[in-house]
A and B are shown apart, each in its own frame.
Chain A
Amino acid sequence: MVGLTILFIFVLLAVAAPVLFGPPPALGSADAPLADPSWKYPLGTDEVARDVLALVAYGSRISLVVGFLATLISVGIGTLVGVVAGYNGGRIDTLLMRATDFFLVTPALVLAILVASVAGPSLINVIVIIGFTSWPATARVIRAQTLSVKERAFVARSRAYGARAPHLIRRHILPNVWSLIMASSTLTVATAIFLETTLAFLGLADPTATSWGTMMNRAFVAGAAGLGKWGYLFAPGVAVSLVIVAFTFIGRAFERILNPRLRERQADAVASAERAVVVR
């Protein structure tokens, strides 16, 4: 519930930013650079004289958009790989799971840094990169669920009657893994937002687009910490953390609803460790 509330507030902030704060703050649009918080600028201004609160609101757009779109790609790939592997089994399964393991162990951020440095910093690139590096956990979860659904009696019966694979997947498998996909997505969104922030901080996202990562980078470079500009320094960090906490809460709630028997001991514990790792 807490998670949903936080998320709702940020979505509202992102959607209503133009209504609440006018157009994206232009360079030099506030009265003074690095102003302390005031009624007019509740979080102060940044070093190029922009309202920090408005920047946080507009920054939430990039973070949320990147988070959702990257998740869409990630969950899309993950579901496809998971369902195909789980449904077909055999060699295809082995092959796909090897690929999944490969991406699972490859440090996502390092890979993302490399690809971003090759492809160049842009919003689309960042989304695609995050989408393509964060799918393995979803694939694993979906595969496991597909395997168990496949063995259920009604699916087996359909197969015996000669139902074809696409039909089976659409009619029986997908509806049964759907809720799991949702749960997995919420955690992936958190991962994606985290990665975006990190890439932006490192200057691998578009340095001129206002996102929480670039804000933190700018605050750092402008010496906001030393100048005691707490509003400027804290706002983007707190915003990122809140959103990630929100998605984590939602994800956990989902899991609890879906899988009351989550605590199944070691084998499952390892799987949930992997899921935990995904958040970073």
Chain B
Amino acid sequence: MATLAHSRSRHGFIAAVALAIAAILVAPLGTALADSPSPTAGSPSAEAGGGITLRIGTSQKWSSLNPFVALLGADYQITSLNYDLLVEIGPDLNPAPGIAESWTHSPDGLTWTFKIRQGATWHDGQPITADDVAFTYNYILDSFKYKDGSFGLSLFRDYLAGVTSVKATDAQTVVLITDKPSATILSAGVPILPQHVWKDISYEAASGASKDVKPFDNASMIGSGPFHLVQEVKDQYVRFEANKDFWGGAPKIDQLIVQYFPDPGPMVEALKNGQIDMIDQVPTTEFASLANAPGITTIKGAPVAMAELGMNSWVPQPGQARAHANEGSLGNPWLTKVAVRQALFHAVDKTAIVKTALLGYAVPGDSILSPGSPGYWSPSPQQAFDFDPAKTRSMLETLGFQDTDGNGILNVPVDAKAFDPKGAGKDFVLRLYIRKNQPQDLTAGEIIRDAFKQAGVGIDLQVVEESPFLANATFPSATNADADLYLWGWTGAFGPDPDFTLGRVAETSQISAWQDANYSNPEYDALYAQQHAQLDPTQRAVTVQKMQELFYTEGSYAVLWYPYRLQAYRSDRWQGIKTLPADGGAVFTSLAYGPYDTLLAAELKPAPGASAGATQSTAPTGGGGAGTIVLVGLLIVVGVVAGAAILYRRRSRPELGD
């Protein structure tokens, strides 16, 4: 009897342990399911399971779905999939038909007539008309007439500079009139929006600039592009469904998922083990190894972007005066001086940065335009700021900086109390913000810090989140713009026309809109206006080059490098993926709108010897296979525990005589 009782209690113990372990992994799942984000309501195919899905991993977070607020590269990638432009960008980077089938302009260049495509529809099935186009352009133009213009939709303002009227003369015709010729009418990167969605959205909501009105989140994302964003899980992923009625032809895939990875390491692992199909930004450390991996194709796209060491040069203009003693540009005042910036330019070792931080996957930078841009300019050897920290030091010493305390760091002149009340007499130390999601920026920052130290300038390196921290630190509203130095970059992703970069980066009216360094120079602004009105490409190129030269020598950027666009995808499973431009370009680029989308023709490779049923395998399977492994693993754990118990019992029995 005793033995029976004993064994029951023994087994009871083991069983309890096994049950408990099983319960542990299963019981809480129910709770989690209830908490998990549910797909957007009203997308019937969400229940259908999705079909053929292409999954892209990215290491940049998107900031907003509202195109009037969204200004990061990742935002534009989303916009380009979901929306169309009036005139889009063809495979050779020249203007190509978009919502407008064709266009003409009057001999004086002041009147443009666009023929709108017939039969094209919005994602909700409504027809696209000339009214929608006129509405979109007027919505932006009128926003600056609303109240004091403080809710102006400034991100798109410059595309429409000089436009005085936009009218739909009939259902298929839009007439646009400018007060002077404009070189950028055909490269306007303005997503065409459905009037029936946006007509009720106030400017307070659309601009997101009001404290009292909730910013418009644009969750429905009704556009006309080949993909329709149907689900957003903030900081995790966005899901697009293919627009099977797309006017430029239906995509061959059914779903597109863009998944955010906080760290690139796991992202590469996910590509290797097939959880994602493509990586947008391959870390330089992994590119060579991925290039050799079987079944993976890498893409080294020509540089269309630049990375800069920015210097906050903001001097509040009349009318932008500080509202509060603690507000306004809180950056180091010395950076507003051209001579100081020029001195610092000499302390930037671009060659070392490209070699060490980018492992050679970039071209050392100079102009704010990337080398492929029309009218690209580069400095002559006399003009170039060669790397020479000693020169930086001597230039700063000329300005009165002295290492008075002998610690190797120059001190701000004591007599500069009026100009720099906080810093006078102290060490000249600048904060350098670098982005958390960009490992190469940290290395570049360290190289800059070490060289600046040689030059006698202290650097306080701070790693921050790009959005919203860096965005706000560089943004001179009444409360922000307290950056000193920062590393950031611009993608020429918004079109090959140099107007975008030249204007957004450095033109005075872009302060409080696109600008980050808050540079202001009337001479530059005049040149900008001049090139904008030059329809002759040769004349315009001359002006464009002058602007680059001016900004290189007196501006607020040390342009560090032009990165190659490093991408990778599973070519063992996918075909039909294109690049833009067709030659030497990149995939999943925000240049590619509408029918020029790089993923429009992407399709699964027919598996050798497999039937069509195999295609189903790329629908997200939800780690079902791994789930099975989990259950098996669970059994193993239970088995091991039980085994250990039995072993213990066996071993103990002989010694435990009663």
Contact = CB atoms under 8 A, between A and B. Distances in A.
B272 interface: yes
A220 B463 CA distance: 16
Nearest to A27: B356
Contacts of B286: 222-223, 226-227
B461 A28 contact: no
B264 A49 contact: no
B265 interface: yes
Given A208-B449, A226-B268, A27 B443 contact: yes
Contacts of B289: 226-227
A19 interface: no
B300 to A, nearest CB: 18
Contacts of A48: 356-357, 443
Contact of A27 (B265, B447, B463): B447
B436 interface: yes
A182 B447 CA distance: 42
Contacts of B443: 27, 48
Interface string A121-158: 10000000000000000000000000000000000000
B269 interface: yes
Nearest to A206: B461
Given A203-B463, A207-B442, A222 B449 contact: no
Interface in A213-246: 218, 220-227
Contacts of B355: 28
B442 A208 contact: yes
Nearest to A228: B289
A220 B449 contact: no
Interface in B319-373: 352, 355-357, 359
Interface string A51-62: 000000000000
Contacts of A220: 263, 265
B265 A28 contact: no
A113 interface: no
Interface residues of B, number: 27
B554 interface: no
B181 interface: no
Given A203-B436, A208-B449, A223 B356 contact: no
The interface centre, meaning the residue of B285, B436, B450 with most chain A CB atoms within 10 A of its CB, is B285
A264 B272 CA distance: 55
B514 to A, nearest CB: 28
A176 B289 CA distance: 61
Contacts of A225: 265, 269
A3 interface: no
B446 A27 contact: yes
Contact of B461 (A26, A27, A207, A224): A207
A27 B359 contact: no
Nearest to A34: B285
B263 A208 contact: no
Contacts of A33: 285, 356, 359
Interface string B457-497: 00001110000000000000000000000000000000000
Interface string A179-222: 00000000000000000000000010011100000000010111
Chain B binding surface, main DSSP class: helix
Interface string B579-595: 00000000000000000
B263 A221 contact: yes
B183 to A, nearest CB: 42
Contact of B269 (A206, A208, A226): A226
B439 interface: yes
Contacts of A47: 285, 359, 439
A18 interface: no
B498 interface: no
Contacts of A203: 436, 463
Interface in A245-260: none
A120 interface: yes
A226 B443 CA distance: 21
A203 B469 CA distance: 15
Contacts of A218: 439
B446 A223 contact: no
B225 interface: no
B563 interface: no
Contacts of B461: 206-208
Contacts of B303: none
B275 to A, nearest CB: 13
Contacts of B268: 223, 226
Interface in B428-468: 436, 439, 442-443, 445-447, 449-450, 461-463
B283 interface: yes
A120 B433 CA distance: 13
Contact of B272 (A121, A206, A226): A226
Interface in B227-274: 263-265, 268-269, 272
A159 B442 CA distance: 61
A48 B439 CA distance: 11
Nearest to A227: B289
Contacts of A221: 263-265, 283, 439
Contact of B264 (A27, A206, A208, A223): A223
A160 B131 CA distance: 99
Contacts of A121: 462-463
B442 A222 contact: no
A207 B463 contact: yes
Contacts of A224: 265
A49 B263 CA distance: 21
B360 to A, nearest CB: 10
Interface string B121-155: 00000000000000000000000000000000000
A234 B416 CA distance: 52
A28 B283 contact: no
B265 A222 contact: yes
Interface in A28-87: 28, 33-34, 47-49
A166 B436 CA distance: 51
A220 B269 CA distance: 12
Contacts of A27: 352, 356, 443, 446-447, 450
B265 A223 contact: yes
Contacts of B269: 223, 225-226
* Residue from B265, B449, B462 having most chain A Cβ neighbours under 10 A: B265
A207 to B, nearest CB: 5
Nearest to B442: A207
A224 B265 CA distance: 8
Nearest to A49: B356
Nearest to B352: A28
Contacts of A207: 442, 461, 463
A73 to B, nearest CB: 24
Nearest to A28: B356
B640 to A, nearest CB: 24
A121 B445 CA distance: 16
Contacts of A222: 265, 283, 285-286, 439
A135 to B, nearest CB: 29
Contacts of B283: 221-223
A226 B265 contact: yes
A3 to B, nearest CB: 29
A48 B446 CA distance: 11
A165 to B, nearest CB: 44
A199 B463 CA distance: 13
Nearest to B262: A221
Interface string A97-121: 0000000000000000000000011
Interface of A: 26-28, 33-34, 47-49, 120-121, 203, 206-208, 218, 220-227
Given A222-B286, A223-B268, A223-B285, 8 more contacts: A28-B352, A28-B355, A121-B463, A221-B263, A222-B283, A223-B265, A225-B269, A226-B265
9 contacts: A28-B352, A33-B359, A47-B285, A47-B359, A207-B461, A207-B463, A221-B439, A226-B269, A227-B286
Interface of B: 263-265, 268-269, 272, 283, 285-286, 289, 352, 355-357, 359, 436, 439, 442-443, 445-447, 449-450, 461-463
Closest 3 interchain pairs by CB? A223-B265, A28-B356, A222-B285
